[in-house]
Amino acid sequence: MVVLLADDNLPRNTWKMGRISALKPGRDGAIREVELHMPNGNILRRPINLLVPLELNDDTESLGESQQPELKLIPCTEQQNPPRRYNLRSTTKSVPQKQEIRTSTSSKSREYSEEGSNTE
């Protein structure tokens, strides 16, 4: 597998490229380090968290027309529709009723103030 060697001090387009030749397990059995063959022939050991895998197409994967699997079309019916996702919102909207709050003190105070001004 071809990988890039990540380096924080360099931009990505200048990272070195290498090919993994061996996986080195740690004491617990988990793979923590790899052995890399560099283009100049050097062999390096690097931790796997510094490697970025490259996606390369392999020529051996291409199949001739005679080897390609046959695709069948299946007509879509209503039973084959995928299930709908969960709708977590309620379908009915609960809108709070607007309540008018009337304070009797404000209207009475106006009446008393008007009556008081008439009597004076």
* For the chain, percent of residues with pLDDT exceeding 70: 52
3-state secondary structure of 17: strand
Helix residue ranges per DSSP H, the chain: 104-119
> pLDDT tens digit string along 78-96?
555 666 777 777 677 666 6
Residue carrying the six token digits 């995928």? 82
Mean pLDDT of the chain: 76
Task: Tell me how far CA of residue 29 lies from CA of 26, 35, 36, in angstroms.
Answer: 5, 16, 20
Instruction: Write out pLDDT tens, residues 36-63.
Output: 999 999 999 999 999 999 987 766 555 5
Average pLDDT over residues 29-39: 93
Q: So what's the pLDDT on residue 101?
A: 64
Q: Model confidence at 33, in pLDDT bands (50, 70, 90)?
A: very high
Q: What is the pLDDT of residue 65?
A: 52
Assess whether pLDDT exceeds 70 at residue 34.
Answer: yes
Domains and CATH numbers, the chain: 2-56 (2.30.30)
Reported pTM: 0.45
